[in-house]
Amino acid sequence: MNAPGATGIQFPAAVEHDTALDELLLRTVTDGQHATSTCRMGSPTSATTVVDPRCRVLHVVDASIFPTCPRANPNLVTIAAAELMVDRLMR
Ligand SMILES: Cc1cc2nc3c(=O)[nH]c(=O)nc-3n(C[C@H](O)[C@H](O)[C@H](O)COP(=O)(O)OP(=O)(O)OC[C@H]3O[C@@H](n4cnc5c(N)ncnc54)[C@H](O)[C@@H]3O)c2cc1C
């Protein structure tokens, strides 16, 4: 029970002292991120919907939509396309 764990810290000692426990947690605790819901399904009339209930994509506004590779800086062209589409969609 008193054998050091993989961190080299003796766990009972760490649990008994707040400072040691804080240090142990900061050194060993990690999170596991599993992103979901980044392209949400919903009503086609909702501003936060990306795909409709049949999984049809409603809007794509990024550099992938350009018919050809732009000669200008793509970042600026992407922003211009996004601004234009916001104006069109908000009308
Ligand atoms: C190293 C580097 C340097 C560059 N330098 C320049 C430069 O100097 N000038 C210039 O004009 N252009 C530059 N570019 C190009 C420019 O960055 C791109 O053309 C532009 O960012 C394209 O915009 P985008 O919106 O299409 O894609 P991105 O900017 O790649 O945006 C895509 C977004 O979608 C998000 N995403 C991905 N999958 C999902 C998902 N499933 N759900 C939700 N979100 C998701 C990503 O997190 C990201 O935020 C550079 C590119 C690179 C890689």
Q: Please state the domain count of the chain.
A: 3
Show the ligand 1 pocket: residues with CB < 6 angstroms: 38-39, 62-64, 73-76, 78
Same domain, 21 and 39: no
- pTM of structure: 0.69
- The pLDDT value given to residue 16: 81
Please give the number of the atom of ligand 1 that sits closest to the Cα of 76: 11
- The pLDDT value given to residue 11: 66
Geometric angle at alpha carbon 14, from 13 and 19, rounded to 5°: 125
Question: Per residue in 13-54, pLDDT tens?
Answer: 777 888 888 988 899 899 888 999 999 999 998 878 899 999
Same domain, 89 and 67: yes
Question: Per residue in 63-80, pLDDT tens?
Answer: 999 999 999 999 999 999
| 9 alpha carbon, distance to own chain's centre | 34
Same domain, 50 and 70: no
Same domain, 52 and 65: no
Same domain, 47 and 66: no
Same domain, 4 and 24: yes
32 CA → ligand 1 middle, Å: 24
* Residue 20 structural domain: 1-30
Cβ-count burial of 54 within 10 angstroms (0-12 exposed, 13-18 middle, 19+ buried)?
exposed
55 CA → ligand 1 middle, Å: 24
